[in-house]
Amino acid sequence: MVTRIIDGKAVALGLRDEVRRRALALRERGVVPGLTVILAGDDAASATYVRNKERAALECGIAGRTVRLPSDVDALTVLRAVEEANADPGVHGILVQLPLPAGLSRAECQEIERAIAPHKDVDGFLPVSQGLLLLGQPSFLPCTPAGCMRLLRSAGIEVAGRRAVVLGRSAIVGKPLSHLLLAADATVTIAHSKTPDLADVVRQADIVVAAVGRPGLVRGAWLKPGVCVLDVGINRLPDGRLTGDVAFDEALGIAGAITPVPGGVGPMTIACLLDNVCLAAERAAEGH
């Protein structure tokens, strides 16, 4: 079997083009879509993610602003930054880059993350956003799960009536994606670190999503011939290369389609964030 490689970069570029057109239409109506990112601390990976988001926003005609706070910042100062962005009509989307500095307690981090106004929650992480997703009335879809669903659509993968196995149950990827697959009429199994016989569970899937963070966990021999594999994992190997949660070379020739790492799900996450910012600005322009 020839395995089709799903080109996430190309699909993401298409979505970014669409966002650019919508942002331009908004600007013509006097509304400049705005995204504020709150970055506290000096985590190198977070700084890179935020720079990428700033650059991507700019390219799409979205005004990106990053509020940079020191690593010894207190909770009140971060909360004030969120409140200011909440009150600013020029800011349509807000995100707090995680992880927050280690000096902040778990309760403080939760309070900060939950202070974002729901109509500006472009990450879709607020309890109210997740609750609406569960009820099938989403406001903003969390970006990585939304990106996965878009990839399935663009690759023409039938979801309704198929068996989907999602590896990983985090609040930002595994759980919300499971609900989106369920809403698209898949029969969904969620597997995690306590799931016995993972290989047997995966073997039943027509669609496998790996969102675990363990390089090469999913072996080629676990896959049903023709399965569609979405590899969300991003793992850095000792030699510096990035790799996914699926043994990619083993999957070739068995899977019907697969996303590579890098260049698969990753580029979709930022594109879906920009899509959400544009959506928030469109809603604001309509007075919602």
Active site residue 123: yes
**In the complex, what is the shortest distance from the CB of residue 208 to ligand NDP, in angstroms, rounded to a whole number?**
12
Active site residue 175: no
Please, which residue, 215 or 256, has the CB nearer to ligand NDP? Answer: 215
Which residue among 33, 34, 61, 266 contacts ligand NDP (CB under 6 A)?
A: 266
Cα R_g (the chain), whole angstroms: 19
Stretch near ligand NDP under the rule CB under 6 A, chosen from 31-39, 121-129, 218-226, 263-271? 263-271
- String marking each residue 221-260 x if it binds ligand NDP according to CB under 6 A: -----------xxxx-------------------------
- Contact of 273 with 279, CB cutoff 8 Å: no
- The token duo for 193 is 């670190």
Please, which residue, 146 or 227, has the CB nearer to ligand NDP? Answer: 146
Which residue among 94, 172, 181, 228 contacts ligand NDP (CB under 6 A)?
A: 172
Catalytic residues: 53, 97, 123
| Residues near ligand NDP (CB under 6 A) | 144, 167-170, 172-174, 191-195, 198, 211-214, 217, 232-235, 265-266, 269
